[in-house]
Amino acid sequence: MAEQTLQVERLTATLGAEVSGVDFREPMSAEREKEIHETLLKHQVLFFRDQDLSPDQHKAIGESFGELHVHPVLPSRAEEGHPEIVVLQSGPQLPFVADSWHSDVTFERKPPLGSVLRGVLIPDQGGDTLFASTTAAFDGLSDSMQRMLSGLEAEHDGGVFSYIANENQKKDLAKNQATAHPVVRTHPETGRKSIYVNATFTTRIKDMKPRESEALLGFLYTHTIGPEYTCRFRWRTNSIAIWDNRCTQHRVATDDIKAPRRMERVTVIGDEPY
Ligand SMILES: [Fe+2]
């Protein structure tokens, strides 16, 4: 059967698009896969509805981009043979995970290229995910600020996960821990520059006094999440988001902490930022 035409509806002028005409349960042609990858490069985060996927079908989407990552600490479906599928669960007794702005796993030497997040149990309302374009945020800076940031490096730390890590997981965290990444990174595929510091994992800008680093990071965090650089996605069960982790940040809206919510994520290993 011929594949349907891809329909792409933008969420905002900056980033995000809802895509229809795709069923990830069906075999996919190489052309269609390429089309989706190119659409992702253009819109930075893509949303798909009604994708009731098996764990293998979920992993296959990630594998079309590259090798899958196994998170050093977060709970997963490892016991069912799927250590690559991270489980993000929240509810009355469990606080939301990912409730501050971040790109995934930037504390590793080779942070993820991207992630594929699936809504498994979604409340009637609440728990939307917000995304920010760090390329648009970079483009929105003055030439002077862009120049000043361009030579800088910042340290990132996964220690935020230590409170739930056992001894082995702490070793895994340390093993892939990055020393530092450039504050402005260049996207390896589009060549676009982006702000590459985030409020969850970045600890300091190197070769700056603590107050300078704090002030500059604070400015960059606030600047990056301006409404003109963000979009917001309302989940339904079996919705999927695929984002380019190299040029976006995201966070959950913690507006209904009582509603049970379960998300599953696969994450694709990326390149060393430059
Ligand atoms: Fe995340």
Ligand 1 centroid from CA 71, angstroms: 11
Q: 170-181 pLDDT, tens per residue? A: 777 777 777 799
Which of 3-7, 55-59, 114-118, 262-266 has the lowest average pLDDT? 3-7
Q: Would you call 156 a catalytic residue per the annotation?
A: no
pLDDT at 1: 58
Ligand 1 centroid from CA 102, angstroms: 6
Q: Which one-letter DSSP state was computed for residue 190? A: T
Distance CA 202, CA 218 (A): 11
Q: Would you call 207 a catalytic residue per the annotation?
A: no
Kindly give, in sequence order, each residue whose CB lies less than 8 Å from that of residue 86, ignoring residues fewer than 6 positions away: 71, 74, 75, 76, 264, 265, 266, 267
Helix (H) or strand (E) holding 31: helix 30-43
Highest mean pLDDT among 1-5, 168-172, 183-187: 183-187
pLDDT at 241: 98
Ligand 1 centroid from CA 83, angstroms: 17
pLDDT at 163: 66
Query: For residues 68 and 267, is the Cβ–Cβ distance under 8 A?
Result: yes
Distance CA 174, CA 7 (A): 43
Superfamily of domain 7-268: Clavaminate synthase-like (3.60.130.10)
pLDDT at 92: 79
Residue with tokens 């698009």: 17
Q: Would you call 37 a catalytic residue per the annotation?
A: no
17-20/45-48 β-pairing: parallel
Distance CA 113, CA 196 (A): 13
Task: Pick the catalytic residue from 69, 102, 187, 261.
Answer: 102
| Token pair listed for 150 | 């361009």
Q: Would you call 69 a catalytic residue per the annotation?
A: no
Task: Pick the catalytic residue from 58, 104, 181, 251.
Answer: 104
Q: Mean pLDDT throughout 242-267?
A: 92
Which of 12-16, 150-154, 177-181, 240-244 has the lowest average pLDDT? 177-181
CA distances, 23 to each of 85, 236, 240, 250 (Å)? 20, 16, 11, 25
Domain map (residue ranges) of the chain: 7-268
Task: Provide the 3-class DSSP secondary structure of residue 212.
Answer: helix
